[in-house]
């Protein structure tokens, strides 16, 4: 089976581009399940009812998030009630929502896990320990995919090797920059440090470059207006062996 993982969708331009490209890509590549990181899908970060609905209507089966999970108050209740909207599993249990779900595709079930890194981000429970606990859950599907939303490449690669042979695939998100290290790890887990971004190409992580440049020079706060212009959709396709639950192939794509 083929599992498509799409890098952070940024703002309305990213959402619209996803809608333009995703349905045809799913058809072309025979995608069985699509996971989209949507934590920046609302203009101004976070996720709203509108942006989440747009992602699902465009073909996302599961939406993952990260450090901007709870940026919008209106999303709190959605995390508690939408079965396939995840926030990182290593947030405190008192936070709304959950970080793991199972999608029933009929002939096969797929587990989707969302975790967040702790290097240069909020100090949450160790993603390594939380992953161990999730993987000890009874009745865990053979096929499980992890979105590890993290800043540090070292932390991401370390978790990838830690999970090797125990997950079908792990893809990183958050940096909005795709990495060229997609592979099947030695024990059979598909891996990429960062899937990249779905949004405006000429931008700094989706934001107008001049705003970010000014911020670095002046160190003054600024409103992060989103850039506009041609977009790109970065994504990765993992091919999974349903018998073993391991990955047999990885393909990284950037659609313009």
Interacting residues toward Fe ion by CB under 5 A: 66-67, 174
Task: Name the burial class of residue 129, with classes exposed (0-12), middle (13-18) and buried (19+) by CB atoms within 10 angstroms of its CB.
Answer: exposed
Alpha-carbon distances of 143 from 35, 132, 166, 241, rounded to whole Å: 14, 16, 9, 8
Letter string b/e over residues 35-46, b meaning 16 or more CB atoms within 10 A of that residue's CB: bbbbbbbbbebb
In the bound state with Fe ion, the residue whose beta carbon lies nearer, of 166 and 174, is: 174
7, 41 in Cβ contact below 8 A?
Answer: no
CB of 191 to Fe ion, least distance (A): 19
Beta bridge partners of 184: 190
Closer to Fe ion by CB, 9 or 246: give it.
9
Least Å from the CB of residue 175 to Fe ion: 8
User: 3-state DSSP call for residue 201?
Assistant: coil
**Minimum distance of Fe ion from residue 149's CB (angstroms):** 6
Q: Which is nearer to Fe ion, 46 or 245 (CB)?
A: 46
- Please, which residue, 174 or 208, has the CB nearer to Fe ion? 174
Strand order in the sheet with 143-149: 100-104, 109-116, 143-149, 169-173, 190-192, 183-184
Task: Report the nearest approach of Fe ion to the CB of residue 150 (Å).
Answer: 9
* Distance separating alpha carbons of residues 169 and 147, to the nearest angstrom: 9
Query: Is the CB of 118 or the CB of 239 nearer to Fe ion?
Result: 118
- Alpha carbon 27 to its chain centroid, in Å, reads 21
For the CB of residue 54, give the shortest distance to Fe ion in the complex, in Å: 19
> 16: how many CB neighbours lie within 10 A of its CB?
15
Residues taking part in catalysis: 68
Distance separating alpha carbons of residues 28 and 8, to the nearest angstrom: 22
């Amino acid at each position: 089976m083929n599992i498509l993982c799409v890098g952070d969708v940024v703002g309305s331009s990213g959402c619209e581009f996803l809608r333009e490209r995703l349905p045809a890509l799913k058809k072309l590549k025979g995608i069985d399940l699509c996971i989209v990181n949507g934590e920046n899908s609302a203009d101004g970060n976070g996720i709203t009812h509108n942006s989440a609905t747009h992602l699902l209507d465009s073909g996302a089966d599961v939406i993952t998030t990260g450090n901007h999970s709870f940026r919008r108050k209106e999303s709190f209740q959605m995390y508690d009630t939408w079965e396939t909207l995840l926030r990182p599993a290593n947030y405190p249990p008192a936070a709304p929502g959950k970080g793991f779900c199972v999608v029933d595709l009929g002939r096969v079930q797929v587990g989707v896990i969302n975790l967040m890194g702790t290097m240069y981000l909020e100090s949450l429970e160790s993603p390594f320990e939380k992953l161990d606990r999730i993987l000890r859950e009874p009745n865990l599907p053979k096929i499980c995919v992890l979105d590890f939303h993290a800043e540090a490449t070292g932390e991401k690669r370390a978790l990838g090797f830690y999970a090797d042979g125990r997950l079908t695939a792990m893809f990183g998100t958050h940096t909005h920059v795709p990495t060229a290290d997609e592979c099947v790890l030695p024990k059979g887990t598909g891996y990429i440090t960062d899937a990249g971004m779905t949004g405006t190409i000429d931008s700094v992580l989706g934001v107008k470059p001049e705003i970010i440049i000014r911020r670095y020079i002046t160190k003054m706060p600024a409103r992060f207006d989103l850039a506009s212009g041609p977009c790109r959709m970065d994504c990765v396709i993992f091919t999974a062996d349903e018998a073993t639950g391991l990955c047999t192939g990885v393909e990284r794509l950037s659609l313009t």
